[in-house]
Amino acid sequence: MAILRGEYREGERVGEQEVAEAYSVSRGPVREAIRMLASRGIVRLEPRRGATAIAISLDVVADLFNVRSVLFGLAGRCFTRSAAPPAFERLAERLRHLRQIMALDASDPIEFALAVGRVGAAIYNQCGNPTLVRLLHEQGQTSLWGFIWREGPLDYATLERRASCLEHWMAIEAAARNGNEALAEAHLRQIILESRDAVLASLADTRGGSVDQSKLLR
């Protein structure tokens, strides 16, 4: 998250001892974490220098969301076409939980984001497209995407944002139950694109810079 927020400059060393002291852990877990960051393209391992930060531009973040929106939209279309009744029951259950979180005046953005992730998983895991399931799962587990949501989400900080997200999810469930593939896909894509814009605004506030407007696909 520090690299994403621009606290490390391009090429700046991410020292094992420094990180170990910051988090009060031994260097072993730090070394493993740095290897994971390297596999996700967030740090670069260099001989005799160790790990150095890779700059993550706002354009890169925008591209990540754009790709996710297309994949997720396709999952919504496939779910609408092929999901069995138990899949709809699971989706309804997770939406009930999301509404319960939303009802709390001071709901935690992290808790809300994780609940949104579980609602999304209820759709893509039952979309009937194993290749798409794998792509979405791998993107969440092995890319920058997972950090944006699990380590302190850069979205859902306001009641307005949470309400907009919940409204889209309710529309997706209704569209899927009615067999409207195009509408389910459109709402799923819009969820991701609205999050993209909120995340980019949050990052611009903390680290400065701007995004190439051509990246803001609609």
pLDDT 10s digits, 111-144: 888 899 899 999 999 999 999 999 998 887 766 7
What's the fold here for domain 58-215? Four Helix Bundle (Hemerythrin (Met), subunit A) (1.20.120)
Asked if 189 and 72 touch (Cβ cutoff 8 Å), the reply is yes
Report the percentage of the chain scoring pLDDT > 90. Answer: 50
Give how far Cα 147 sits from Cα of 1, 85, 118, 150, 195, Å. 7, 33, 16, 5, 14
Calculate mean pLDDT across residues 139-154: 69
CA atoms of 104 and 139, how far apart (whole Å): 30
**Same CATH fold assignment for domains 1-56 and 58-215:** no
Give the pLDDT confidence score for residue 7 in this predicted structure: 83
pLDDT band at 151 (very low <50, low <70, confident <90, very high): low
CA atoms of 41 and 65, how far apart (whole Å): 16
pLDDT band at 105 (very low <50, low <70, confident <90, very high): low
CA atoms of 121 and 157, how far apart (whole Å): 22
The reported pTM is 0.82
Phi, psi of 42 (to 5 degrees): -105, -25
Is 23 a residue whose pLDDT tops 90? no
Q: Indicate the helix (H) or strand (E) that contains 43.
A: strand 43-46
- Give the least confident one: 16-20, 99-103, 153-157: 153-157
The residue with tokens 């399931």 is 133
pLDDT in tens, 67-97: 999 999 999 999 999 999 999 999 999 999 9
Q: Give me 183's structure tokens.
A: 């509408």
pLDDT band at 191 (very low <50, low <70, confident <90, very high): very high
What's the fold here for domain 1-56? Arc Repressor Mutant, subunit A (1.10.10)
Average pLDDT of every residue of the chain: 89
Which spans in the chain are helix H?
16-23, 27-39, 58-82, 85-103, 109-124, 130-142, 144-150, 159-177, 181-207
Closest CA to 124 of 171, 204, 165, 70: 70
pLDDT band at 42 (very low <50, low <70, confident <90, very high): confident
- Give the least confident one: 71-75, 102-106, 155-159, 177-181: 102-106
Give the pLDDT confidence score for residue 214 in this predicted structure: 92
Q: Which long-range contacts (CB under 8 A, 24 or more apart) does 63-66 make?
A: 63/215, 64/143, 64/144, 64/145, 65/192, 65/193, 65/195, 65/196, 65/199, 66/193, 66/196, 66/215, 66/217
Is 150 a residue whose pLDDT tops 80? no
For the chain, what are the domain ranges? Answer: 1-56, 58-215
Residue 95 CA, chain-centre distance (Å), reads 18
pLDDT band at 152 (very low <50, low <70, confident <90, very high): low
Give the pLDDT confidence score for residue 178 in this predicted structure: 97
